[in-house]
Amino acid sequence: MGFAGYALQFLALLLVFVLGVLLAAALVLFVIDRSQTEDAIRRNYPVIGRFRYLFSTLGEFFRQYFFAMDREELPFNRAQRDWIKHAGEGKGNTIAFGSTRDLNVVGTPIFANAAFPPVDDQFASSEPMVIGAQARVPFVATSIFNISGMSYGAISKPAVLALSKGAKEAGIWMNTGEGGLAPQHIEGGADIVFQIGTAKYGVRTKDGALSDEKLREVASHETVRMFEIKLAQGAKPGKGGILPAAKINAEIAKIRGIEEGTDSISPNRHAEVNDWNQLLDMINHIREVTGKPVGIKTVMGGTGEIGDFFDCIKKRGKDTAPDFITIDGGEGGTGAAPMPLMDLVGMPVREALPQLSAMRDKAGLKDRIRIIASGKLVNPGDIAWAMAAGADFVTSARGFMFALGCIQSLKCNKNTCPTGITTHDPRFQKGLVVEDKYKKVAKYARSIIKELETIAHSVGVAEPRLMRRRHVRIVRPDGRSQALNELYPVE
């Protein structure tokens, strides 16, 4: 027998062996599937039923990369993500031939270009704005567009550091999220907004009460510019934050003031705040202790309660008002939240923001309370709409996650994020190179501001905060557009 004969014989034996292994594995799986009681599909269709779960998992991948059109995906479509990617890389975002956006979709904003816009040498850049002029240490915010709350713990150490360094580079602020002040926040050198969640992470006593001593300690950092009391966020109004035990290492436990290795679930609200008066008491107490501007973050469920808040402020005096209100929309995102809250609760920011700003102005508090808009605002058109609707600032979390390299794999709550952003697994974290990613964060922020100013110039104003509701039109169900000031009049 020649060499070819031996080779064929070997291949035949190898094939028999492989088939035998596969048959044995199939028999084992058959017995397992037939005897288990948890899954009816696998019990009725042993082995074959397992393919259903494989195809379901692969379906998510194929829809994202092959089947969905550029503007079809949720929560963010490919066109939005690609714009952020190009902006973060410093590449131009010019396109050819025509827009792929369907301008007949209800709710689409269309900006009303001016017949005679300012000439180029009249074009001014965005101006700084003071927040908390009455605080002992007011904050002069230099950027309209900033980083929204993302806690260390929910996101990884290299992600926090890249965001902080990028924010410093771009001259924007970074919100800590409710997870406390991490060393990486300070190391990056960015202006910091310290968020106080319902669990008071980082500024709590052992029993979870607010600690004045720890407030002063946090405020002693020069780069900590403001404090934000979180009442609610768009992804889970009425529900506290959720950090799985798998994400809580010794460092995170120390920063937050909690136990390592157990799920960390925040209360659904601040237990000591039962009405608007008590909220104002808390705001003024923190402002007095820290000397820095203090505001709130909330989600509107309707106009009545916020109206009561403004009435309470008028009775007690403007000096007692929060220095800012961050309004999040029901479309906001998070690493982990119950689906009913994520899908169904909270007014969308595109409905809430115009009403909030109108109520603030009617209450005579326009110069006292700054409005910060948040909730799925990631592209220049989103920011421009928010400016026209009455926001003074816009913050984004997921936009900056995309700048860091997020691929929307929807694994934020599983500690298996493939890009290293929302995981504490060193194997995945090594893919997030801080020295590369912080530059993309800065470039993304700068690109947003540049193109926001371009839109403002096109509608006929010198800088974005001069945009008004008349400058943007909203597509209605009948296909016609209507000016935002007609949909939400400013009384």
Alpha helices in 317-379 (DSSP H): 339-344, 349-362
As to burial, measured by CB atoms within 10 angstroms (0-12 exposed, 13-18 middle, 19+ buried), residue 142 is: middle
Q: Nearest CA to 89 among 437, 450, 455, 449?
A: 437
Dihedral sign (CA 387, 392, 397, 400): positive
CATH superfamily placement of domain 120-487? Aldolase class I (3.20.20.70)
Residue 428 token pair:
């995945």
Domain ranges across the chain = 3-67, 120-487
d(CA 464, CA 471): 11
Please give, one letter per residue, the 3-state secondary structure of 424-470.
Answer: CCHHHHCCCCHHHHHHHHHHHHHHHHHHHHHHHHHHCCCCHHHCCHH
CB atoms within 10 A of CB 127: 12
Buried b (16+ CB within 10 A) or exposed e, 277-306: eebbebbbebbebbebbbbbbbbbbeeeeb
Q: pLDDT in tens for each of the 491 residues of the chain?
A: 566 777 788 788 888 888 999 999 989 989 998 888 877 778 888 888 887 777 666 666 555 655 555 555 666 666 777 777 777 777 776 666 666 677 778 888 999 999 888 877 666 667 899 999 999 999 999 999 999 999 888 888 999 999 999 999 999 999 999 989 999 999 999 999 999 999 999 999 888 899 999 999 999 999 999 999 999 876 556 666 677 777 788 888 888 888 887 777 788 889 899 999 999 999 999 999 999 999 999 998 877 889 999 999 999 999 999 999 999 986 666 655 566 555 566 788 999 999 999 999 999 999 999 999 998 898 999 999 999 999 999 999 988 988 888 878 777 777 778 888 888 788 888 888 899 899 999 999 999 999 999 999 999 998 899 999 999 999 999 989 999 999 888 75
Buried b (16+ CB within 10 A) or exposed e, 192-229: bbbbbbbbbbbbbeeebebbeebbeebbeeebbbbbbb
Residue 83 token pair:
């714009």
How far is CA 245 from each of CA 248, 261, 391, 414, 425, rounded to the nearest angstrom? 5, 5, 37, 11, 13
Dihedral sign (CA 299, 302, 305, 306): positive
Residue 58 token pair:
């692969």
Residue 260 token pair:
């390592």
Q: Nearest CA to 395 among 314, 282, 295, 488?
A: 295
Which pTM value belongs to this model? 0.84
